[in-house]
A = this chain, B = another copy of it.
Amino acid sequence: MPYFDAASSVPLHPVARQALDAALDDGWADPSRLHREGRRARMLLDAARETAAEAVGCRADELVFTPSGTDALHTAVAGVLAGRRRVGGRLVVSAVEHSAVLHAAEAYAGEESTAVVPVDRTARVSVDEWASALTSGTALACLQSANHEVGTVQPVPEAAEECARVGVPLLVDAAQSLPWGAVEGGWSLLAGSAHKWGGPAGVGLLAVRKGTRFARQGPRGERESGRVPGFENIPAVVAAAASLRAVRAEAGAEAARLSALVERMRDRVPQLVADTVVVGDPVRRLPHILTFSCLYADGEALLHALDHAGFSVSSGSSCTSDTLTPSHVLRAMGVLSEGNVRVSLPPGTEEADVERFLAVLPDAVAGVRGQLAAAPEREPARAASEERKGTEPVSAETEAAASESEVAPGETESVSGESVSGEAAEAPVPERTVDALGTLCPVPVIELANVIDEVPVGGVVRVLADDTAARLDIPAWCEMRGQEFLGAEGTAFRIRRRE
Contact = CB atoms under 8 A, between A and B. Distances in A.
Interface of A: 1, 3, 5, 8-12, 17, 20, 24-25, 28-30, 32-38, 67-71, 74, 99-100, 103-104, 106-108, 193, 195, 200-204, 218-222, 229-236, 300, 303-304, 307, 312-314, 320, 322-323
Given A5-B33, A106-B219, 19 more contacts: A5-B35, A5-B37, A8-B29, A8-B30, A9-B30, A9-B231, A11-B25, A29-B312, A35-B313, A69-B230, A74-B219, A100-B221, A103-B219, A108-B219, A200-B233, A201-B231, A201-B236, A218-B218, A222-B322
B34 A24 contact: no
Contact of A219 (B1, B104, B195, B303): B104
30 contacts: A3-B37, A5-B30, A8-B29, A8-B38, A9-B231, A12-B28, A33-B314, A34-B320, A35-B312, A36-B307, A67-B67, A67-B68, A67-B202, A67-B230, A69-B230, A70-B221, A71-B229, A74-B219, A100-B221, A100-B229, A103-B220, A104-B219, A106-B220, A200-B235, A201-B233, A201-B235, A202-B203, A202-B236, A222-B322, A222-B323
A8 B231 CA distance: 10
A300 B34 contact: yes
Contacts of A220: 103, 106-107
A3 B25 CA distance: 14
Contact of A70 (B37, B202, B230): B230
Contact of A107 (B36, B71, B202, B218): B218
Nearest to A41: B9
A9 B28 CA distance: 7
Contact of A5 (B5, B29, B99, B222): B29
Copies of this protein chain in the complex = 2
Shortest Cβ-Cβ A-B pairs, 5 listed: A68-B230, A67-B67, A35-B312, A202-B233, A103-B219
Contacts of A312: 29, 33, 35-38
A93 to B, nearest CB: 13
Contacts of A103: 219-221, 229
Contacts of A10: 28
A71 B30 contact: no
A34 B322 CA distance: 12
A111 to B, nearest CB: 13
Nearest to A106: B219
Nearest to A102: B219
Contact of A231 (B24, B32, B68): B68
Nearest to A194: B231
A323 B25 CA distance: 30
A235 to B, nearest CB: 7
A323 to B, nearest CB: 8
B230 A71 contact: yes
A46 to B, nearest CB: 16
A105 B309 CA distance: 53
